[in-house]
């Protein structure tokens, strides 16, 4: 598998160049963005985060103390804002129960399996959101899998239709060096590929930078 995953990465990097992803100035901003990006596109998340920034709300203490209804209104552009406000407050509450309360550096200093398990105890935080926080906010070497990843792997015959999130993640983590920057860049490139070429409907296969990697299975 490594003989395929590495050339795919090289082809994507050659075509798109470095992506400098995830857009976020602080670990807290990345953490917030990981929750807000559920079921929406990043432009909507950017507007929601801009609302928080403009009102100086992007600090752990402020967000933790902010009433849920007020937070929901501030993040309205992200969609499902009431649900996301509840999930974000639950996540902040988890971190505020740690010692010292609200210390993200201390919270993120845990071993990766323990930290991932803690994140997954929060209602509404699934594997993709938890792993986004681990990789992009905590700097842990965890590969993030999403719908774009499944689509790329499936269309090139690298996985079966029923392959699970964990199985897809293992493909990358078992066959690539455990490197934060590599996992960061690879995931970002797959997202770019999915948005521009490997689309859910009407994929642009003839012009895709991965067109040489067959088989190509398009629904």
| CATH number (domain holding residue 86) | 1.10.340.30
Residues 88 and 67 placed together within one structural domain of the fold:
yes
Distances (CA, A) of 205 to 62, 130, 149, 152, 186: 47, 31, 16, 11, 20
Rounded Cα gap, residues 31 and 128, in angstroms? 12
Q: Output the domain CATH number for residue 167.
A: 1.10.1670.10
Return the SS3 of 167: helix
Q: Are residues 149 and 199 in the same domain?
A: yes
**What is the C-alpha to C-alpha distance for residues 110 and 105, in angstroms, rounded to an integer?**
9
Q: Where among 137, 162, 193 does a domain terminate?
A: 137
Instruction: For residues 61 and 123, state if they share a domain.
Output: yes
**pLDDT for position 191:** 96
Q: What local confidence, expressed as pLDDT, does residue 24 receive?
A: 82
Is the per-residue pLDDT at 142 higher than 90?
yes
Domain-ending residue, one of 88, 115, 137:
137
**Percentage of residues of the chain with pLDDT beyond 90:** 88
CA 92, 125, 146 angle in degrees (round to 5)? 135
Q: Which of 62-76, 174-188, 200-214 has the lowest mean pLDDT?
A: 200-214
- Are residues 189 and 93 part of one domain? no
Do 203 and 148 belong to one domain?
yes
Rounded Cα–Cα distance for residues 43 and 64 (Å): 24
Q: Which domain holds residue 128?
A: 27-137
Cis link prior to 201 (omega < 30° from 0)? no
29 burial type by CB count under 10 A (0-12 exposed, 13-18 middle, 19+ buried): middle
Residue 71 has pLDDT above 90, yes or no: yes
pTM attached to this predicted model: 0.94
- 25-70 pLDDT, tens digit per residue, is 899 999 999 999 999 999 999 999 999 999 999 999 999 999 999 9
């Amino acid at each position: 598998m490594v003989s395929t995953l590495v050339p795919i990465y090289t082809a994507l990097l050659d075509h798109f160049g470095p992506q400098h992803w995830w857009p976020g100035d602080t670990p807290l901003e990345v953490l917030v963005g990981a929750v807000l990006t559920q079921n929406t596109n990043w432009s909507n998340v950017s507007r929601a985060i801009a609302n928080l920034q403009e009102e100086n709300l992007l600090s752990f203490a402020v967000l933790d103390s902010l009433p849920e209804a007020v937070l929901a209104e501030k993040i309205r552009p992200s969609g499902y804002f009431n649900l996301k406000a509840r999930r974000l407050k639950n996540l902040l509450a988890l971190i505020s129960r740690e010692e010292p309360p609200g210390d993200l550096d201390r919270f993120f200093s845990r071993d990766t399996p323990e930290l991932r398990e803690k994140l997954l105890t929060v209602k509404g935080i699934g594997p993709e959101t938890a792993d986004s926080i681990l990789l992009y906010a905590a700097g842990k070497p965890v590969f993030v899998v999403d719908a774009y990843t499944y689509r790329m792997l499936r269309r090139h015959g690298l996985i079966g239709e029923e392959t699970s999130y964990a199985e897809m993640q293992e493909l990358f983590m078992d066959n690539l060096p455990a490197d934060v920057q590599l996992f960061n860049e690879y995931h970002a490139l797959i997202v770019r590929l999915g948005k521009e070429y490997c689309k859910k409907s009407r994929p642009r296969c003839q012009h895709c930078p991965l067109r040489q990697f067959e088989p190509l299975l398009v629904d």
